[in-house]
Structure 1
């Protein structure tokens, strides 16, 4: 049986990858220190003999007995609220964590796939963004801890490929959404959906004219699977090129949820990208991949998940309030 290690496997993307590799007949080792990941995302996999969870920080020494065919390095805070609150951890997992994971891949003769990001392009001066664009990143700004951690991780990955001959793959992930995103992770979709479902004002940063391109998680996972099994070494964009403004996206969430929430506007965070759209011509050509799930379909599937999470949060608040009242 083929065997894969997925670091950050209890996170949003990692948990979906665990499911995909199990479905493909792999034995899956899920490694996560649960700083931003959650056991809720993978609890349905416990009890399967092909699945093993390791509660471990990937920046420390990694020991995995037995063979490994592949390592997918997805461990990292990935949302603005996380990497701004965890700047040192973000830098460490991008540097030390990538080094440890690559060292394990070298020792095991395993193929290595790095989860990089469109944030490598920074606030881009080229639109849409192609893989040969080097980016416009502020290394000393607050977002630099994430942007530069991923840029370093890409350089480390290519060094291990060129110097040690490790089989490596690099995916640059653009905005992705779907079930298992956290309500409080700071990204537009969970923030908008949580606020809309609870009837709170929807917070739009800036005037909402900045653009994003939203890819449903199932499409992304398919792209990751194809890239891992390809022979492409250099970075490859995976995302949905359908671009829209944040303001239009907020209005779409309002329409979908039927919410009575109003819009409120706040200052744009420092170095927030004004545009974000992947050029996926390489993915189409090399992987035969492009997204197949349109935004309306993906949002409806995601909304079902967030309704459940909002109901659970409301129930917890009700229990706490009831307990406080009983104790007063």
Structure 2
């Protein structure tokens, strides 16, 4: 409904409209890596489906407003993004691992940890969104870092960065968890002249410094 309201506003005032969609629209993909032409493999009644289908519907609305009312839309399909100033307990895997390792808690891995994700640093995403909004191409564009890591590999990078003695705790996997997630960004490279520059090993320490400061302040507040 928020997307519908904002598209109506964009139509009235003649604004260019950015829809920040998501890699979740691909569901548990049968194509790897995922191209923008792939329609996805989504369970429409699954536990994750209100998010998946909500974003898919938002893309439909954006394209209908573009075709039917001439609204200038831009669609970005954003893959896992991390960086400073994220919520400490937002439930995303990078935030979870970093906060848990700093707090000396075991890192929680769901399932066997072999599912993969691709992690892009926030400044790369901002550059991609700016290129999309300043350009003439509608999209959709995959904006993500093609560097692919299993959850166990991610936990190893977090250990290297924060605490080599950090441990892992395995828990049952969540329903409809995608097994693989990796963007094909050839379209963004060609049409937006964009690709991510910062690797996970470069970007993670920048996030860790920020999390460490905030968790330390949190702990000091508890002692006060």
Between structure 1 and structure 2, the one with the greater Rg is 1
Q: Which 4+ residue blocks in structure 1 deviate beyond 6 angstroms?
A: none
Q: Does 1:148 align with 2:71?
A: no
Number of the residue aligned with 2:147: 242
Number of the residue aligned with 1:132: 37
Q: Does 1:200 align with 2:120?
A: no
Please give the root-mean-square deviation of Cα atoms over the aligned residues, in Å.
0.9
Contact 1:194 1:306 in 2 (8 A): yes
Structure 1 counterpart SS, 2:166? coil
Counterpart Cα distance in 1 of 2:110 and 2:156:
14
**Aligned residues, how many?**
224
Number of the residue aligned with 1:299: 204
Counterpart Cα distance in 2 of 1:305 and 1:108:
39
Within-5 A mapping of 1:1-328? 96-319=1-224
Number of the residue aligned with 1:59: none
Spell out, residue by residue over 1:189-224, the C-alpha distance to the aligned partner (whole angstroms, 9 max, x if none): 110011100101110111110001000000000000
Contact 1:199 1:260 in 2 (8 A): no
Deviation at 1:260, TM superposition (A): 2.7
TM-score (norm 1): 0.67
Counterpart Cα distance in 1 of 2:35 and 2:217:
41
Whose RCO is larger (CA < 8 A, sep 6+)?
2
Structure 2 counterpart SS, 1:291? coil
Spell out, residue by residue over 1:74-120, the C-alpha distance to the aligned partner (whole angstroms, 9 max, x if none): xxxxxxxxxxxxxxxxxxxxxx1001111111111000010000000
Deviates more, 1:310-319 or 1:243-252: 310-319
Counterpart Cα distance in 2 of 1:239 and 1:181:
17
Counterpart Cα distance in 1 of 2:5 and 2:221:
39
TM-score (norm 2): 0.98
Contact 1:197 1:259 in 2 (8 A): no
Deviates more, 1:104-113 or 1:229-238: 229-238
Contact 1:158 1:168 in 2 (8 A): yes
Deviation at 1:259, TM superposition (A): 4.9
